[in-house]
Structures are given as C-alpha cells and as structure tokens.
C-alpha cells in the first residue's frame, strides 16, 4: 500500500499541474493578447519586438557591450553585412552548343605564383592558407594542424602577423613568411628559409591600422618568439619600417631589402581592398612585387574593431574586378599574379574568382573550421567552439593536431574533387582556361562591372562585354581614366609626404 501511494503521489501531482495549466493557460494568453493590442506599445513587451526591427539583435549586443565596458568592441570571423558577391554569379554549363569533358579526362589545378622569380611558389591547388597569427589569433596546436594539413595537401601556409616557430616550420611544406609592421619575423635566416615573403600593409577586416595589444594578452612562449622586452606589448604599427617604427619605409625600400636577403623567391604584398585600389596597385607595381594579395571586406580576423570590419573597404567581387581591370590597363597582367582573399568558403567561390581573373585564392576561416570540426563536440556546452583554435594565454581545450590536419586535408581534397567536376562540366581542361564567358548573372550592376553576361537577355540582344572581364561602359570609363592618369605614380603615400616636406625622412 505504501509503495502504491509513493507511485501515485507524483502521478497525481503531474496530472494536477497539467490540469491547472490547461485551465490557466487560455486565461493568461487572452489577457496577454488584450494587453498587447489595447495598451500603448511602450508599456508592453511588444516594444522589444518593435525595437529589433530598427535595431537588430547584434546591434543591441554591441550597444550593451559598449555600455558595459566603455571599450572598443572586438568581433572575430569577419563582417556579416550583406554585399553583392559571388552568390550572384552562375556558371554556364557545356551541353550541346559546347561539349563537356569526359569523366576520365584530366584537368589541371596546379598553381605557380611568382612566375618570373628564380624559385616560384608551386602548389598542387590554386589555394593557399592565409595568415592567421600564432599568439595573436590562433593557438600553437592550431598552427601545427594547419602546417601539417597544408603540407599533405600540397598548398602553402602563411605565418600571418604572428611569430614563426621551429616546430611549425618543420611541419609545413611551402612556407610564406609575412613581413610587415611589427618587430618579429625579421631574422634573415627565417627570410631565407621562406618559399615566398608577403609584405602586409593591411587586410580586409583591418585595413592598415595600428594594433596595440595588452602585454598580458600573449603567453611566455609567444613573448619569447617575438623577443619582447618585459612589460612590452606586441604592437603592430601603422606603417612599414625596416630599422625602427619611428622611421617609416616605403614599399619599394622594403622590397629591395627583402630581395637583398632572399633574391630567389616571390615577393607578395597584401592589402585591404579600398576605393583607391588602383592607386595602391600602382605603388605595388612600382615596387616590383611578384604578386598582389587583395583582401575584400568579407575577410575575417580574430581581433578587428567592428567599425573597421563593417564600414571600411570593398567587397571581394568588386575589388577583384577592379584589380584585374587595372592590371590589364597597366600591361602588368602577364608578370604580376593576383591572389584574392576575403569571404571565400566553397569550391564554387574559388572557381568564380579564377574565371574573373584571380590566379589563386587564400582561405582562412574555412581552414580554421576544417581543423576544428572533428572536435567541436568536446567544447559544448561549457565553452565556445573557438576555444579549440583561438589563442588564450591559458588555453582551455587543446586541439588534437593530427585530427585537425586530417580535417584540413579532407576539406581541400573535397574542394579539389568538386573543382575537377565543375571544370569538366564547363568543358575546361585547366582552371586557367576559365573566363567571364563561363559565367552569367541576373544582376545588371554585376554584369556591367565584371563583364559577365546579363542572363535576362539572350547573347544576341545583350550588350557586348569588354575584354579582360570589363563591361563595355566600365571599360570605356577605365580607358578614359587611364588616358588622363600618369603611367606611374609616386612610390607611395610616404614618398608623397617626403616630397611635400622637401626631402626624405631618413
């Protein structure tokens, strides 16, 4: 009898609760609806709903963080603001008028960057792993996983703004050392070990600004690799320099110095894409670089102020079209390679970039997710998944290097297989055969600015596209601009300032 009562009490309690809910719920709902419909909006919860129509939940979050901290709001993973991009383009399949390739027919995906260098950068795929800094962005294990995975897949790895370390160099295959506006990664032995050197003057999420980090933001090993004095912060300065941050150097000076240290490898320059991208390219051409990396505003970083990430720069598609057009107008397309980064995730994105003139693409966020995906379940529900890869002075969840490397290899192998299928469907034997003729769009603006065919009209009625991926009106405008501009510009902004002062600063 006692056991029966012990079983009956909770059952009766649940039934009573359900009965009370069934009786009270309609009453509560009716009163709530009457309150919302009959009282002023400012007196009910409806005000919150209305507020989210003019101020998004993300904006409310940023407002709250600013009000709570009084500090700059930092957000990783790039801008979420919508922009016209590669999703507005579609490929034109080869079927009857143009034949596709047979399934077994080989297609070419090998990539060479710096074709005029004594030792060009060679990769199995036209994809490289963009810079993600050890200590300023990623953990040691994340960097090692990227290095191991990139080597196995046959693509290059970029150091980013962080310090190189011996274990990463040993794991990596093709290795790009980023040289720029900081005190580390300047050892001549490291520069001679590099397979390419990238001069970083900006990126899509942080175009050329100085970054002042807290001394406590990096741990002892990173401080040792950066050779920081006790109490010193890992600063990234606004200008390029060779000897001291107080004595800025022009891009031409930096390139000459790097060639004196390692004359055989390609020299790249990376820049965030802005509306003066043509003027920036002229500076890079005059400096004699082998390749230009253009990073669209969709590019991500681990520590960008959201104002820079969301409100500066040009989208990747716009930047690519303008960069290709300007290199063609300057007659530099056959000697300077163009690499696009910023918001590229899928093989279709990569192929569209190649069709519009990119020689290679650089990926970061996609590679980061690839090394983390097998272990994301380990961090839930107590930690954010980024704890697997984002650097903390005391990391909470260590990333398994081998699992991470395998994830990256699998991701790149999947991209390779899909790109091969797509090239055969387009009837192309190499990714370098792609052109704007392989694309169409339903967006008139994109058609006009890129030279891609406007698909609402059949080819017989569509306006002619200009050569090298430039729409007819855009081509005429660019040609007029080229006729009125000088063939060469001053070396860079520093040279202009020196001329105004009447002499060089050093």
Distances (CA, A) of 426 to 99, 106, 297: 8, 13, 29
Q: How confident is the model at residue 34 (pLDDT cuts 50, 70, 90)?
A: confident
Note whether 199 and 297 are within 8 A (CB).
no
pLDDT at 337: 97
CA distance 173 to 156: 7
**Per-residue DSSP letter, 353:** H
Note whether 388 and 399 are within 8 A (CB).
yes
> How large is the average pLDDT for residues 385-403?
79
pLDDT at 127: 97
CATH for 86-484, among 3.40.50.300, 3.40.50.2300, 3.20.20.70, 3.30.56.10? 3.20.20.70
392 Cβ neighbours under 8 A, 6+ residues apart: 139
Beta strands in 325-403 (DSSP E): 337-341, 360-363
Q: How confident is the model at residue 28 (pLDDT cuts 50, 70, 90)?
A: confident
Q: With b meaning 16 or more CB within 10 Å and e meaning fewer, what string describes 456-467?
A: eeeeeeeeebbe
**Per-residue DSSP letter, 209:** -
Task: Please spell the DSSP secondary structure of 244-290, one letter per residue.
Answer: -TTSB--HHHHHHHHHHH-SSS-EEEEEE--TTHHHHHHHHHHHT-S
Per-domain residue ranges for the chain? Answer: 2-54, 86-484
pLDDT, one tens digit per residue, over 420-442 is: 999 999 999 999 999 999 999 99
**Per-residue DSSP letter, 138:** B
Cα dihedral angle (250, 253, 254, 257), rounded to 10 degrees?
A: -170
pLDDT at 494: 46
For tokens 């930690």, what's the residue?
383
**Per-residue DSSP letter, 123:** E
Q: How confident is the model at residue 416 (pLDDT cuts 50, 70, 90)?
A: very high
Note whether 309 and 365 are within 8 A (CB).
no
> Residue by residue, what is the 3-state secondary structure of 278-295?
HHHHHHHHHHCCCEEEEE
Strand pairing report for 465-466 and 470-471: antiparallel
Encoded tokens for 401: 């290097």
- Reported for 152-156, long-range contacts at CB under 8 A and 24+ positions apart, including other chains, are 152/405, 152/409, 153/124, 153/125, 153/408, 153/409, 153/412, 153/413, 154/123, 154/124, 154/125, 155/123, 155/124, 155/125, 155/127, 155/128, 155/129, 155/412, 156/121, 156/123, 156/128, 156/129, 156/195, 156/196
Chain centroid to Cα 25, Å, comes to 50
Q: How confident is the model at residue 5 (pLDDT cuts 50, 70, 90)?
A: low
Q: How confident is the model at residue 319 (pLDDT cuts 50, 70, 90)?
A: very high
Cα dihedral angle (203, 207, 213, 219), rounded to 10 degrees?
A: 0
330 Cβ neighbours under 8 A, 6+ residues apart: 281, 282, 285, 487
Chain centroid to Cα 137, Å, comes to 14
Highest mean pLDDT among 77-81, 469-473, 492-496: 77-81
Note whether 166 and 172 are within 8 A (CB).
no
What is the CB neighbour count within 10 angstroms for residue 139? 20
pLDDT, one tens digit per residue, over 152-211 is: 999 999 999 889 999 999 999 999 999 988 888 999 999 999 999 999 998 755 566 656
For tokens 């795929």, what's the residue?
125
Encoded tokens for 5: 């009562």
Choose between 417 and 379: higher pLDDT: 417
**What distance, in Å, lies between the first and last C-alpha atoms of the chain?**
99
Q: How many CA atoms lie within 13 A of 47 on its CB side?
A: 8
pLDDT at 420: 96
For tokens 């100085």, what's the residue?
210
Handedness of CA 241, 292, 134, 298 (dihedral sign): positive
**Residues β-bridged to residue 271:** 294
pLDDT, one tens digit per residue, over 189-202 is: 999 999 999 999 98
Q: How confident is the model at residue 35 (pLDDT cuts 50, 70, 90)?
A: confident
Whole-model pTM above 0.95? Answer: no
């Amino acid at each position: 009898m006692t056991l029966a009562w012990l079983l009956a009490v909770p059952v009766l309690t649940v039934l009573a609760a359900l009965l009370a809910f069934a009786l009270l719920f309609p009453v509560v709902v009716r009163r709530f609806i009457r309150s919302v419909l009959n009282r002023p909006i400012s007196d009910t919860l409806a005000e919150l709903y209305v507020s989210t129509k003019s101020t998004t939940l993300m904006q409310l979050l940023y407002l709250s963080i600013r009000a709570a901290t009084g500090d700059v709001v930092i957000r990783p993973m790039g801008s979420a603001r919508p922009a016209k991009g590669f999703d507005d383009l579609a490929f034109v399949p080869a079927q009857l008028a143009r034949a596709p390739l047979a399934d077994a027919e080989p297609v070419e995906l090998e990539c060479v960057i710096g074709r005029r260098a004594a030792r060009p950068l060679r990769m199995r795929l036209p994809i490289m792993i963009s810079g993600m800094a050890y200590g300023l962005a990623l953990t040691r294990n994340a960097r090692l996983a990227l290095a191991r995975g990139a080597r196995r897949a046959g693509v290059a790895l970029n150091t980013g703004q962080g310090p190189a370390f011996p274990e990463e160099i040993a794991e990596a295959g093709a290795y790009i050392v980023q040289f720029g506006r900081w005190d580390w990664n300047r050892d001549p032995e490291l520069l001679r070990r590099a397979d390419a050197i990238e001069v970083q003057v900006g990126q899509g999420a942080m175009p050329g600004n100085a970054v002042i980090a807290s001394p406590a933001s990096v741990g002892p090993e990173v401080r040792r690799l950066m050779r920081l004095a006790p109490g010193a912060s890992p600063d990234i300065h606004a200008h390029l320099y060779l000897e001291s941050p107080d004595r800025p150097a022009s891009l031409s000076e930096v390139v000459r110095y790097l060639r004196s240290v390692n004359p055989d490898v390609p020299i790249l320059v990376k820049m965030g894409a802005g509306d003066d991208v043509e003027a920036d390219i002229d500076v890079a051409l005059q400096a004699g670089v082998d390749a230009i990396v253009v990073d669209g505003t969709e590019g991500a970083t681990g520590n960008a102020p959201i104002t820079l990430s969301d409100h500066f720069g040009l989208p990747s598609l716009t930047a690519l079209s303008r960069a290709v057009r300007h290199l063609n107008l300057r007659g530099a397309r056959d000697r300077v390679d163009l690499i696009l980064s910023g918001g590229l995730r899928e093989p279709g994105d990569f192929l569209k970039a190649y069709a519009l003139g990119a020689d290679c693409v650089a990926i970061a966020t996609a590679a980061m997710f690839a090394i983390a995906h097998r272990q994301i379940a380990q961090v839930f529900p107590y930690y954010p998944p980024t704890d697997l890869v984002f650097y903390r002075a005391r990391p909470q969840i260590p990333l398994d290097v081998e699992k991470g490397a395998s994830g990256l290899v699998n991701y790149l192998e999947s991209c390779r297989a899909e790109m091969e299928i797509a090239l055969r469907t387009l009837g192309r034997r190499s990714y370098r055969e792609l052109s704007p003729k392989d694309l169409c769009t339903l967006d008139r603006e994109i058609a006009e600015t890129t030279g891609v065919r406007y698909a609402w009209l059949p080819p017989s009625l569509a306006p002619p596209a200009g050569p090298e991926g430039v729409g007819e009106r855009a081509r005429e405008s660019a040609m007029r601009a080229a006729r009125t501009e000088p063939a060469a510009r001053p070396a860079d902004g520093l040279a202009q300032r020196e001329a105004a002062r009447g002499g060089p600063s050093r």
